[in-house]
């Protein structure tokens, strides 16, 4: 069996006996490789590890955004943000914020849309600050 398949199985199991069995199989297969093959496996493993780290980082950033937008939505209208800054409906904005399926795949912001949302929030913060200065 291919080491990549074993590593994938290892990452998907929680059974301690199966984990040990897979580790032993990986070790046996790895030790039978030539040095150049071992290096190729190491490089491939590190590459896939970097990809998983990047995927996890993007996932966590999305979760943070969702949590923060949920908090903000208690004070400002996401519907108005969607309309004013994107020319879209509240539904459109929620689809992207929460990754709802659209045409069979999760909706997400483009880079430009993320920048537009960031600028919208900056505008709103500036309006709030200007208003607070008038009150004080």
Residues 68-79: pLDDT tens digits? 998 999 999 999
**Spatial distance between the Cα atoms of 18 and 13, rounded to a whole number of angstroms:** 7
83: left (phi over 0), alpha (psi -120 to 50) or beta: alpha
Decide if 78 contacts 95 (C-beta within 8 A).
no
Decide if 95 contacts 102 (C-beta within 8 A).
yes
pLDDT in tens, 84-120: 999 999 999 999 998 899 999 999 999 999 999 999 9
Share of the chain above pLDDT 70, in %: 99
Closest CA to 92 of 105, 104, 78: 78
Half-sphere exposure of 59 (CA within 13 A, CB side): 6
pLDDT the model gives residue 105: 92
18 lies in some domain: yes
Domain containing 6 equals 1-32
Is pLDDT at 65 greater than 90 in this prediction?
Answer: no
41 lies in some domain: no
Domain count, the chain: 1
Please give the mean pLDDT across all residues of the chain: 90
Decide if 118 contacts 111 (C-beta within 8 A).
no
Which of the four pLDDT bands, split at 50, 70 and 90, describes residue 1?
low
For residues 44-51, average pLDDT = 84
Decide if 99 contacts 107 (C-beta within 8 A).
yes
Residue 101 CB-density burial (10 A; 0-12 exposed, 13-18 middle, 19+ buried)? exposed
16 lies in some domain: yes
Which of the four pLDDT bands, split at 50, 70 and 90, describes residue 58?
confident
38 lies in some domain: no
pLDDT in tens, 13-26: 888 899 899 889 88
pLDDT the model gives residue 79: 95
pLDDT the model gives residue 48: 81
Beta bridge partners of 102: 105
pLDDT the model gives residue 6: 84
């Amino acid at each position: 069996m291919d080491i990549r398949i074993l590593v994938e199985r290892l990452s998907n199991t929680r059974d301690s006996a199966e984990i040990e069995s897979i580790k032993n199989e990986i070790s046996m297969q790895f030790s039978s490789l030539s040095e150049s093959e071992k290096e190729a496996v190491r490089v491939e493993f590190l590459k896939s590890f970097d990809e998983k780290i990047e995927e996890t980082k993007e996932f966590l950033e999305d979760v943070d955004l969702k949590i923060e937008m949920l908090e903000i939505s208690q004070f400002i209208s996401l519907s108005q943000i969607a309309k004013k800054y994107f020319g879209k409906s509240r539904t459109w904005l929620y689809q992207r914020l929460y990754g709802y399926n659209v045409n069979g795949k999760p909706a997400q912001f483009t880079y430009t849309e993320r920048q537009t949302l960031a600028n919208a929030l900056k505008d709103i913060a500036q309006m709030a600050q200007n208003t607070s200065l008038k009150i004080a």
